Amino acid sequence: MNRTKKKNFLYIDLSKPMTYGDQFKLMFIIMFISCVLFTLIYLFSLIGRNGKADTPSSAEVSSAEASYSVPNEEQPSVSSEVSQVSEMNTEFFDDIETLHLKYDEIYKGDLILVNKNYKCPSDGENVVSLKDLKTDSYVITDYSVSLDKDIIVYLNQMLDDFEELYGENDVMVACGYRSYSNQEEIFDNEVEEVGVEEAEKWVARPGYSEHQTGLVLDFTLDNDSEQGSIKYDGTDIYEWINKNSYKYGFILRYPVGKEEITGYSPEPWHFRYVDFPAAFYIMQNEITLEEYIDAVRKHDINSPLLIDGGGENKWYVYYVPANEDSETEVPVPKNGNYKISGDNVQGFIITADVDIKG
């Protein structure tokens, strides 16, 4: 008999059937080892998390020309932010109220998506001729050039600023709103000239042209020395317009390298109004309207996308899918500044000022 071993509390003689005491000891050993393992795993996970927090996560933005600093610009892929929702929730909006929107409201607003898949829902309801509303800092091809009446003021501001900087007023709005029948004519002519396949790279089918929204314009240049006009390509002094248009709410709708997403070859003369926060986010992140809407769809009111334009220029953007059969309840900040736009696909985008408390 080995007395010393028997005296050890944890000793179990495996050559004999286990007593209750032995079973208790075995359980104790297993629980002790489990506790140690769990503690170790927990400690390692803490170390891992701290390590991650040290690496910079803010987006790189190309802001050479931007007058807004973007300290914490969020990227379109922001699902990692969701975990912070519950603790940030009360900070987003002080008070919420609920609007009841009809389904067809998704077809209205500055952010409606019109491309080869999504037809333009309107046909000139809000457009007016530029002739009496434009400033002298630019020209129009003829009196029929029209735009959505609410965006003309921003076009005027942009080209007034351009003229002040460069002393030129030869930018010409060649085309703004285009009616369905007008687009039909253009498309048919193009098809006749180059065939359907080639025509579709440049010209939208009737009903699918963004120009039908009234939120879009094409620039050209007024040039007396040449018969008619020469094409605007956003180079030379005009590069300023292409780089700064977002400050006035306009984006370059068909940028280089995004043909697969937009469905169109690059058009440095084709500008689309989307309002400032969206334009800022789109241009800074070098994305398209399609990608912006996709990004916003990942955010509801409890986890809004933050657009940080620096200083007090901050917005929360979130998405509410629309009900087809009944009115949609859309939560909005009570007493806050916000804008609602349909996406022309399936829901509403709410862009709300961040209430700077202080």
Tell me the two tokens of residue 165. 């900087």
Rounded least distance, CB 169 to Zn ion, Å: 21
The interface region with Zn ion, picked from 3-11, 142-150, 218-226, 309-317 by CB under 5 A, is 218-226
* Residue corresponding to tokens 């009903």: 207
Which of 226, 267, 290, 312 does the annotation list as catalytic? Answer: 267
Pairing of strands 216-222, 270-273: antiparallel
Angstrom distances, CA of residue 110 to CA of 146, 234, 273, 351: 16, 24, 7, 11
Long-range contacts at 325-331 (CB < 8 A, ≥ 24 apart): 327/100, 327/101, 327/102, 327/103, 328/100, 328/101, 328/103, 329/98, 329/99, 329/100, 330/98, 330/99, 330/100, 330/101, 331/96, 331/97, 331/98, 331/99, 331/301
Judged by beta carbon, residue 218 or residue 275, the one nearer Zn ion is 218
Least distance between Zn ion and beta carbon 224 (Å): 24
Smaller CB separation from Zn ion, 215 or 283 = 215
CB of 156 to Zn ion, least distance (A): 19
Minimum Å gap between C-beta 166 and Zn ion is 23
Which alpha helices (DSSP H) does 55-179 contain, by range? 85-92, 152-166
- H helical segments located in 57-151: 85-92
Q: Which residue is nearest to Zn ion (CB)?
A: 270
Q: Which stretch binds Zn ion (CB under 5 A): 1-9, 212-220, 257-265, 303-311?
A: 212-220
Residue 73 binds Zn ion, judged by CB under 5 A: no
Supply the minimum distance, in Å, between the C-beta of residue 163 and Zn ion. 22
Known active-site residue 267: yes
Number of H helices, E strands in the chain: 10, 14
Size of the site for Zn ion (CB under 5 A): 2
Nearer to Zn ion, 73 or 218 (CB): 218
- Least distance to Zn ion, CB of residue 211, Å: 6
Residues between 251 and 280 that touch Zn ion (CB under 5 A): 270
Residues in the chain: 358
Residue placing its CB nearer to Zn ion in the complex, 272 or 339: 272
Taking the C-alpha atoms of residue 284 and residue 304, their distance in angstroms, rounded to an integer, is 18
Question: Which of 218, 222, 275, 343 lies at the binding interface for Zn ion (CB under 5 A)?
Answer: 218
Distance CA 97, CA 103 (A): 19
Q: Which is nearer to Zn ion, 270 or 339 (CB)?
A: 270
In the complex, least distance from residue 254 CB atom to Zn ion, rounded to whole angstroms = 8
* 93 vs 232, beta carbon nearer Zn ion: 232
What dihedral do alpha carbons 130, 132, 138, 143 form, nearest 10°? 60
- Measured from the CB atom, the residue of 61 and 175 that comes closer to Zn ion is 175
* Burial class (CB within 10 angstroms; exposed 0-12, middle 13-18, buried 19+) of 149: middle
Q: Which positions are annotated as active-site residues?
A: 267
Which residues form the interface with Zn ion (CB under 5 A)? 218, 270
